Structure 1
Amino acid sequence: MNKVIGIIKKNKLLFSVILTYIILFIVKPDKGIESIKNSTYYIIEMIEIMPVIFILTSLIEAWVPREVIINNLGENSGIKGGIFSFILGSFSAGPIYAAFPVSKTLLRKGASVFNIVIILSAWAVVKVPMLMNEAKFLGVKFMGIRWILTILSILIMAYLVSLLVKKDTIPANNKNQNNDLSGIKVKQKYCIGCGLCARIAPNNFEMIEGKAKVKNKNIDINDIKEVNEAIEKCPAKAIG
């Protein structure tokens, strides 16, 4: 029984949805059948799209260096970061839920909250093919004004979200949320031997022959903040 309760607690959202469907079938069977049909459609769509998205995120994780993400989409990327984010979202393909795994990967590799909001928002409402259809059916003037106001709204929203939501509060950004450092490495060819990581998180990084090394694979929950800080402040962006 305790094991079952534990599973339910870990999957509260899933069981809430199942419970909602059961209640709907009891109260309004016709609506329940309609909901199942709609859900089945979206599940099939996700099965078709998500494998491609997972391949894309794996390629980003494996082939795009952390320093490239930080320089172009990070906290100090400035106007350049906003433009790159807007272009990435605008020329994207697929429904908005496909953007979430991509955003998680970009956050983990150093993208800022501000730029992630721009990517998600542009992905949802500023797709180039959609603009073409909008101009065709509603006119270029309508499309242009709506597009400009949408961009302004996205920038305002991105700024407000970046003020209210910090990266260390986002589970997607906390690579060490399971107290596991097995996925984090110090890229020796980039490490300049400054020793900053070892000073910030001495329990988890050490200097050996002038280069930083991961000291412990498993970290205490109290050290997670220091490890993330060491990763963010590494001047060579060698930890990732």
Structure 2
Amino acid sequence: METNKIQWYVLFIVILAYVFLLVIYPEKGNESLKNSIELLERILPYLLLVLALMIIFNYLFPVKVIVDYMGRNSGIRGWIIAIIAGLISVGPAYLWYRLLRRLMEEGTSPGPVAAFLYARAIKIQFIPLMVVYFGLEYVGILTGVMIVASVVIGILMELIMGLFYPMYRQ
């Protein structure tokens, strides 16, 4: 089943669940619906920002260019780009999933994608605050270990994906 159909089925099931909840437990259903609307209101600005950034990003850097830089034959350059992009990326991780999936469909290796996602745990904007609480040495070592760990995670993903999915074998 193609992904598009699955997304519509999931949406339909969620709508049915809300209708069921509203009919059977109106108070809980209203509370759940209210919470969902509040969540949507909170993340909508981020979704719009990511949409705008993706439009600009797609215009400036077509998928083919990114795949060339992060593809299966990109070598260390692809890893460095993925890690730096992970370090400077902002917003919730799930907003990046669709773009990352598309990049993988176009030929980007699973390793740099995993490294990107792991490197997102390092928040550049919080490093000064972390230094205040933990000290420069600790933060420097932690950041270095996390960058190395992002590469290790990426390499493990390459190996595991290569075992189970022939298209990822190198």
Structure 2: unaligned runs, 5 residues or longer: none
Counterpart secondary structure, 1:56: helix
The answer to whether the 8 A contact 2:131-2:139 is kept is yes
Structure 2 counterpart of 1:146: 142
Whole-Å separation in 2 of the counterparts to 1:129 and 1:50: 20
The answer to whether the 8 A contact 2:116-2:150 is kept is no
Whole-Å separation in 1 of the counterparts to 2:139 and 2:35: 30
**Range that drifts further, 86-95 or 47-56:** 47-56
Q: Tell me the TM-score normalised to structure 2 length.
A: 0.70
Does structure 1 residue 104 correspond to structure 2 residue 107?
A: no
Equivalent in 33, 46, 51 of residue 49 of structure 1:
46
Change (3 A) 1:110 1:64: farther
Equivalent in 54, 57, 61 of residue 60 of structure 1:
57
Change (3 A) 1:47 1:106: same
Q: What amino acid is aligned across from residue 21 of structure 2 in structure 1?
A: I
Does structure 1 residue 92 correspond to structure 2 residue 96?
A: no
Please list the CA deviations of residues 21-53 of structure 1 after superposition, one character each: whole Å capped at 9, or x if unmatched: 939x95x95xx84x6565444312321111221
Q: What amino acid is aligned across from residue 19 of structure 1 in structure 2?
A: A
Asked which structure has the greater CA Rg, the reply is: 1
Matches within 5 A, 1:90-169: 90-123=87-120, 125-165=121-161
Query: Alignment RMSD, CA only?
Result: 3.5
Q: Tell me the TM-score normalised to structure 1 length.
A: 0.52
Change (3 A) 1:14 1:133: farther
Matches within 5 A, 1:1-240: 10-12=8-10, 15=13, 19=17, 22=21, 26=25, 29=28, 33=31, 39-123=36-120, 125-165=121-161
Please list the CA deviations of residues 208-231 of structure 1 after superposition, one character each: whole Å capped at 9, or x if unmatched: xxxxxxxxxxxxxxxxxxxx9xxx
Whole-Å separation in 1 of the counterparts to 2:119 and 2:105: 20
Q: What amino acid is aligned across from residue 114 of structure 1 in structure 2?
A: G
Q: Tell me which of the two structures has the higher relative contact order, counting C-alpha pairs closer than 8 angstroms and 6 or more residues apart.
A: 2
Whole-Å separation in 1 of the counterparts to 2:61 and 2:122: 25
Change (3 A) 1:9 1:105: closer
Structure 1: unaligned runs, 5 residues or longer: 1-6, 170-227, 229-240
Change (3 A) 1:38 1:90: farther
**Range that drifts further, 75-84 or 141-150:** 141-150
Kindly state the Cα deviation for residue 16 of structure 1 after the two structures are TM-superposed. 5.3
